[in-house]
Every structure is written in structure tokens, then in C-alpha cells.
Amino acid sequence: MPKECETRYTRGKERFTRDCDYAYARTRARLSYPTHPIRRAYDLALLIGRTSVNRRSTERPLAQLFREQVDIWKDQTSHLSSITKAVAHPSYLRIIGLAKESTGHEIERLLLHELESEPDHWFAALSAVTGEDPVKTEDDFDEAVAAWLTWGRKKGII
Amino acid sequence: MGSQEGHYLILRNLTASELEAKWPKLRSGNYAVRSRATGRYNCMAFANGDDRHWWQAGLHGGRHYWPPKTSDTLPGWVDLFIKQGYELTDSRQIEAGFEKIAIYVDLVDMLPGHVAKSDGSVWKSKLGRIQDIEHASLDLLEGDKHWEYGIVERILRRPIKRVAKRKATRKRKVAS
């Protein structure tokens, strides 16, 4: 097969696989939490993580994949007033999905460093990849950031 | 703690050229940046005078807030402001002596996605998780390109309270 065709075929295949993963995850998420949009988004993120990453190429370093998706996410959602919409963005979900390729808490470290250097709404992603939530219900934004950074330091991740 | 607390608020500020690329009608002279970028509060919070919470339907407590019994729809957003003494108007102009609210509706899902407010002298907007800006008119953020917010679907206004005016006059007298 000519190289150009091969590249197109591989890209098309990856895209098709990813779309199938999203469709499957969306279906499952709707069944789980039909009335709660943000929980549905979190659930969707988790399901994508579980279903898609085993098929993804690991040739490129995780940090590079992470940075690409962070940049896309910021570029396409920074103007939104809805966090529900922002965390349901494919790049946010792919970041969560990278957890399956992460070894030695690498994805947690990347997320925490990102949270420290540019405090943004990474709380849902951190909860999804760690299965924990050190943020108290009454914590404001600053306290939520501080709670996650403290958690990371206690665990020796950052 | 103060400096540490401040550190947590800071996101990268978008430059003028980045803002003008995302909202193509913004040009030097018709808008001005008035804050640093932060994910702490959004446009709905800003329009309601709150810079501590992200106003998001269905979420309460801590870093989130949403007024009880308010639906996340255009009528719901309108009712929220009507309860605060605003009334609907057709005028898109800034009016001295009136606070105004403009609700933008997304052209894709036709749901409210942005709110701008006027204090009688200029329009002000908190742009998502980035900066607050002042803008000369509502149409500068309207459109369907890049990050534009769709169209202004409802405008509300209420008189600026005389009490506040009197207080300001008294303060000025005291200062002089």
C-alpha cells in the first residue's frame, strides 16, 4: 500500500475506533445518570477511559499527548460559561483516557502540575483518574486547588 | 497566605491579538481588558456581582452556585433577573441611570450561553474562564465565528438605585 494511503487508512481507523468508543460511552452514561448533567459528563469520561485507551498508540510520550489535548481543550472551551460543556469536550475526556497509559502516577503528576501552574477546572479529571476527591463540598475554587495540591504532595506525586 | 491565595487565581491572560482573533469584531479602541484571567467565576456570576463562585445549573456549594428553583433555560435566566427588579426592554443601547443585562443565546443549541451587563456607561463581560472586558456595544461579541456568543436574545434593565447614588454623592462631599 502506498505510504500516503497507509497513513490515511491508519488515521481513519483510529478516528472510527475513537468515535465508536465515544458512542458506546455516551450510551452507557445516559443509562447511568439520566438526570444529572455533570455526573453524566464525569461518568462519560470514566467510561471512555476504560474503553478506549487499550487501543491507542503509545508511541509518543504521554506528556506530549497530554500537552496537545490541554491546548486543544483550552483553545476550544475557555470562552464557555458552562463547566458541564467544558468537561464533556473530547479533549478533556481523552486526557482522562490517558490514565490507562500512565505508569507511576504520571498522568496525576501532569494534571497536578497543570493545576498548579494554571489553575483551571481539572477537578473532574483528577477525581476520574484517581478515584478520590480531597475537596470538601464547601471548598471554594482556591481551596479546591489547594486541596488537590496537598493531596498530591502527601502521596509523593508532586 | 494572601500571595499564595492570589497565585491560585491566575490563568494565562489572553493577549489583545488572541482576543481579537477569537472575537473578530473586537478591535483596539472598542474594548478594554479589566481583569486577569480566572476560572473562579463565570459571566453569570459576574452579572450578579459575584466573583467567588461559578454559577452553574445543578451545582451548589463550595465553588459553585445556582439560584434555587431556576431553570437553565432562557426563560429561567430571564426570571432570575426579573426577580431582582429588572424588566424586559428592546433597547440595546447603554442608558445612563439604568443597569442592563443582555442574554446571548448560542446559535447551535439555542440555549443561553453568555450574559453581559451595563452600569449605565459601558457594557461589561466576563469571558468564560478568561478575562473581564468592557465593550462598546453588544454586537462585538455576537456572531457564530470562533468564540462568538451567538445573538442577544433578551435585554433587561432596572433603574440604578437612588440610595447608591446618594451614598456616592455623600462620599464625594465628605472627600471634598
pLDDT of residue A27: 58
State the Cα–Cα distance between residues B53 and A63, nearest whole angstrom: 31
Contact A77 B128 (CB under 8 A): yes
What own/partner pairs with CB < 8 Å and gap ≥ 24 does B48-55 have?
B48/B84, B52/A140, B52/A141, B53/A140, B54/A83, B54/A141
Q: Which helix (H) or strand (E) holds B83?
A: none
Q: What Å distances lie between residue A41 and A26, A89, A103, CA to CA?
A: 9, 9, 25
Eight-state DSSP code of residue B143 = B
Residues from chain B contacting residue A77 (CB–CB below 8 Å): 128-129
pLDDT in tens, A88-141: 999 999 999 999 999 999 999 999 999 999 999 999 999 999 999 999 989 999
pLDDT of residue B11: 87
The residues, any chain, with a CB within 8 Å of residue B66's CB and separated by 6 or more, are: B55, B56, B57, B58, B59, B60, B72
State the Cα–Cα distance between residues A39 and B58, nearest whole angstrom: 10
Where is pLDDT greater, at A84 or B2?
A84
Find the closest chain A residue to B57 by CA distance: A82
Contact A79 B22 (CB under 8 A): yes
- The closest CB to that of B39, out of A82, A120, A137, belongs to A120
| Per-residue pLDDT at B7 exceeds 60 | no
3-state secondary structure of B104: strand
Mutual orientation of helices A3-32 and A90-97 as an angle, nearest 10°?
A: 90
* ipTM for the predicted complex: 0.86
pLDDT of residue A119: 94
Contact B129 A121 (CB under 8 A): yes
Task: Judge contact between A120 and B11, C-beta under 8 A.
Answer: yes
pLDDT band with cut points at 50, 70 and 90 for residue B92: very high
Residue in this structure with the C-alpha cell 469571558, named with its chain if needed? B127
For residue B15, how many C-alpha atoms fall within 13 Å in the half-sphere facing its CB? 2
Task: Judge contact between A118 and B130, C-beta under 8 A.
Answer: no
- The closest CB to that of B58, out of A36, A142, A144, belongs to A36
Does B80 lie at the interface with A, CB-CB under 8 angstroms? no
Contact B114 A141 (CB under 8 A): no
pLDDT band with cut points at 50, 70 and 90 for residue B130: very high
- The closest CB to that of A140, out of B14, B62, B114, belongs to B62
Domain-wise residue ranges, chain B: 2-41+71-175
Task: Judge contact between B131 and B34, C-beta under 8 A.
Answer: yes
pLDDT of residue A25: 57
pLDDT in tens, A15-67: 666 666 666 556 555 544 445 566 666 666 766 666 655 555 556 899 999 99
- The closest CB to that of B63, out of A82, A118, A140, belongs to A140
Find the closest chain B residue to A76 by CA distance: B147
Task: Judge contact between A103 and B25, C-beta under 8 A.
Answer: no
Task: Say if residue A86 is exposed, middle or buried (CB neighbours under 10 Å; 0-12, 13-18, 19+).
Answer: buried
pLDDT of residue B120: 96
Does B141 lie at the interface with A, CB-CB under 8 angstroms? no
Distance in Å, alpha carbon of B126 to nearest chain A alpha carbon: 9
pLDDT of residue A40: 66
Average pLDDT, chain A: 82
pLDDT in tens, B136-172: 999 999 999 999 999 999 999 999 986 555 666 666 6
Average pLDDT, chain B: 90
* Interface A:B, Cβ pairs < 8 A: 83
Distance in Å, alpha carbon of B44 to nearest chain A alpha carbon: 8
Residues from chain A contacting residue B11 (CB–CB below 8 Å): 118-120
3-state secondary structure of A61: coil
State the Cα–Cα distance between residues B120 and B95, nearest whole angstrom: 5
State the Cα–Cα distance between residues B111 and B103, nearest whole angstrom: 10
C-alpha angle A72-A78-A84 in degrees, rounded to nearest 5: 95
Eight-state DSSP code of residue A152 = H
Contact B9 A137 (CB under 8 A): no
- For chain A, count helices (H), then strands (E): 8, 0
Task: Judge contact between B132 and B126, C-beta under 8 A.
Answer: yes
- The closest CB to that of A137, out of B22, B53, B61, belongs to B61
> Side chain identity at B56, as an amino acid letter?
Q
Residues from chain A contacting residue B59 (CB–CB below 8 Å): 38, 83
The residues, any chain, with a CB within 8 Å of residue A100's CB and separated by 6 or more, are: A49, A50, A53, A54
